[in-house]
């Protein structure tokens, strides 16, 4: 059988632990027999990131900007325990955060549904898509461990002479924040806290340009899916930071999308994050839920788990200048990896990783007008879900399965079953 030839490459980013092992199996069983796979390979395994001073992560992000499509395996974001375990030079930042800062944009995450796995929330009848802002906030925060008593201050030095422009519900008003000097050479400063002893500090930021791009991406995605768009923050508490998100979203909607939403028969509304959670649980699904970076991280895990499994969710970063990064939304499956190292069998669900590859190959096909790649991606996804519908599945799904008698298989046998389904 002749293999599909690719015109242009995909940026391939390898990862860590159990997902790295499965990544290689997926290529060997499900991709290379059918495609003359063309990738630019970057090893984002923790050891190699440490060896390169994390430059390999930056190089991978820049490569996606050049090639326009990337696919990423799950990676370790080290904490103190991992620094000791891997003998790292330092506690490297999240590679996802580094790549997202380079690409900007929005991460869209949607559960992968199969009829034999019902949502835990019984009112949910349709998928809920999380639109997660991919820039800034806690993922680009500056932190400091305060060693003793002292004063912490928030300081800003302006390099601009024009009046500050604040967006408020579609109208830009010339205002000066509290403490802002009329002289561009002077600084704004405000006491954060007078520490009476040791403590901890964190400063985070975001940019109007990134928030506006996030808003456009969300409104366009909702229109493309003909689904309502919800947006939630906590502006009652965060009266500058979160309110800026709220106001910029409203301005973009009022000036560019209100009429389009009306014509499409869909709605946009803003609510507080705690109210949004309550509404989501009572809903039937079928909408896009836009969240700030950390909120989206947490809520996408909640949505995927409630729909069945962390391993049953697609994830794609869409940047404003037309770049796409596909990945699985879960971690490196550390517990299974330790069992694998002991020679034990594991039953790890690879569906999200398969859909990361199929999504990247489909997008490559769309950009290069290669119908064969698009058809292959569709066939790979259909075969993967058909195997589950027949009752052949990994342990995580078997615990939730309804309507069929599950046959629990290990990861390798599950992947081989998908390959067999593709050749039927």
Task: Give tens-digit pLDDT for 47-85.
Answer: 999 999 999 999 999 999 999 999 999 999 999 999 999
Mean pLDDT of the chain: 92
pLDDT at position 11 is 98
What pTM value is reported for the model?
A: 0.86
Is 183 a residue whose pLDDT tops 70?
no
Distance CA 410, CA 340 (A): 11
Confidence of residue 329 (pLDDT cuts 50, 70, 90): confident
pLDDT at position 175 is 42
Closest C-alpha to 417, from 23, 93, 29:
29
Residues 6+ apart with CB under 8 A from 109: 129, 130, 132, 296, 300, 303, 304, 313, 314, 315, 329
Confidence of residue 169 (pLDDT cuts 50, 70, 90): very low
pLDDT at position 406 is 93
Is 186 a residue whose pLDDT tops 80?
no
Q: Which pLDDT tens digit goes with each residue over 231-242?
A: 999 999 999 999
Distance CA 224, CA 204 (A): 32
Distance CA 337, CA 351 (A): 17
Q: Which pLDDT tens digit goes with each residue over 241-273?
A: 999 999 999 999 999 999 999 999 999 999 999
Confidence of residue 163 (pLDDT cuts 50, 70, 90): low
Q: Which pLDDT tens digit goes with each residue over 215-234?
A: 999 999 999 899 999 999 99
**Helix 334-341 vs helix 17-26: angle between axes, to the nearest 10 degrees?**
80
pLDDT at position 188 is 82
pLDDT at position 173 is 43
Q: Long-range contacts of range 315-318, CB-CB < 8 Å, 24 or more positions apart?
A: 315/107, 315/108, 315/109, 315/352, 315/356, 316/107, 316/108, 316/359, 317/99, 317/100, 317/103, 317/105, 317/106, 317/107, 317/134, 318/105, 318/106, 318/107, 318/108, 318/217, 318/221
Is residue 400 within 8 A of residue 407, CB to CB? The reply is no
Distance CA 12, CA 72 (A): 6
pLDDT at position 161 is 65
Tokens of 244: 């800026």
Q: Which pLDDT tens digit goes with each residue over 346-375?
A: 999 999 999 999 999 999 999 999 999 999
Is residue 24 within 8 A of residue 55, CB to CB? The reply is no
Q: Please give the helix or strand (H or E) that residue 11 lies within, else none.
A: strand 10-14
Q: Which residue has the higher pLDDT, 419 or 172?
A: 419
Q: Please give the helix or strand (H or E) that residue 146 lies within, else none.
A: strand 142-146
Confidence of residue 164 (pLDDT cuts 50, 70, 90): low
- Any idea which architecture 1-110+310-424 has in CATH? 3-Layer(aba) Sandwich (3.40)
Q: Which residue has the higher pLDDT, 51 or 134?
A: 51
Is 136 a residue whose pLDDT tops 60?
yes
Least confident piece of the model among 10-24, 25-39, 115-129, 247-261 = 115-129
pLDDT at position 118 is 87
Is residue 49 within 8 A of residue 92, CB to CB? The reply is yes
Domains of the chain, by residue range, sit at: 1-110+310-424, 118-137+205-307, 142-203
pLDDT at position 410 is 96
Q: Which pLDDT tens digit goes with each residue over 93-123?
A: 999 989 988 998 899 999 999 989 888 898 9
Q: Which residue has the higher pLDDT, 168 or 52?
A: 52
Q: Please give the helix or strand (H or E) that residue 300 lies within, else none.
A: helix 293-307
Q: Specify the residue for token string 């923050």.
A: 233
């Amino acid at each position: 059988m002749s293999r599909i030839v690719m015109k242009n490459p995909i940026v391939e980013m390898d990862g860590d632990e159990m997902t790295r092992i499965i990544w290689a199996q997926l290529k060997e069983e499900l991709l290379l027999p059918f495609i003359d796979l063309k990738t630019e390979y970057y090893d984002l395994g923790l050891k190699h990131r440490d060896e390169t001073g994390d430059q390999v992560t930056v190089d991978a992000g820049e490569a996606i900007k050049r090639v326009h499509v990337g696919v990423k395996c799950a990676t370790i974001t080290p904490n103190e325990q991992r620094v000791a375990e891997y003998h790292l030079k330092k506690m490297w930042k999240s590679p996802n955060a580094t790549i997202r800062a380079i690409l900007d944009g929005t991460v869209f995450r949607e559960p992968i549904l199969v009829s034999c796995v019902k949502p835990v929330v019984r009112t949910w009848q349709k998928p809920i898509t999380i639109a997660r802002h991919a820039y800034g906030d806690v993922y680009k925060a500056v932190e400091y461990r305060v060693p003793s008593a002292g004063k912490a201050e928030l300081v800003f030095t302006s390099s601009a002479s024009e009046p500050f422009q604040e967006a408020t519900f579609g109208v830009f008003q010339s205002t000066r924040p509290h403490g802002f000097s009329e002289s561009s050479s002077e600084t704004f400063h405000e006491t954060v806290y007078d520490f009476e002893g040791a403590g901890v500090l964190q400063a985070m930021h975001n940019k109007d340009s990134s928030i506006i791009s996030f808003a456009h991406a969300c409104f366009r995605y909702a229109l493309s899916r003909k689904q309502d768009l919800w947006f939630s923050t906590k502006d009652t508490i965060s009266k500058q930071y979160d309110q800026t998100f709220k106001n910029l979203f409203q301005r973009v909607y009022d000036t560019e999308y209100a009429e389009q939403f009306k014509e499409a028969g869909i709605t946009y509304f803003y609510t507080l994050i705690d109210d949004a959670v309550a509404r989501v649980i009572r809903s039937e699904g079928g909408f896009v839920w836009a969240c700030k970076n950390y909120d989206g991280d947490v809520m996408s895990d909640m949505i995927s788990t409630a729909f069945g499994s962390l391993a049953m969710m697609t994830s794609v970063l869409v940047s404003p200048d037309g770049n796409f990064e596909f990945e699985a939304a879960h971690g490196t499956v550390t517990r299974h990896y330790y069992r694998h190292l002991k020679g034990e069998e594991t039953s790890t669900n690879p569906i999200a990783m398969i859909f990361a590859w199929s999504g990247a190959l489909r997008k490559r096909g769309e950009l290069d007008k290669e119908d064969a790649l698009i058809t292959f991606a569709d066939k790979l996804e259909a075969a993967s879900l058909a195997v589950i519908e027949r009752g052949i599945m990994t342990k995580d799904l078997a615990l939730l399965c309804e309507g069929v008698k599950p046959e629990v298989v290990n990861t390798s046998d599950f992947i081989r079953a998908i390959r067999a389904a593709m050749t039927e």
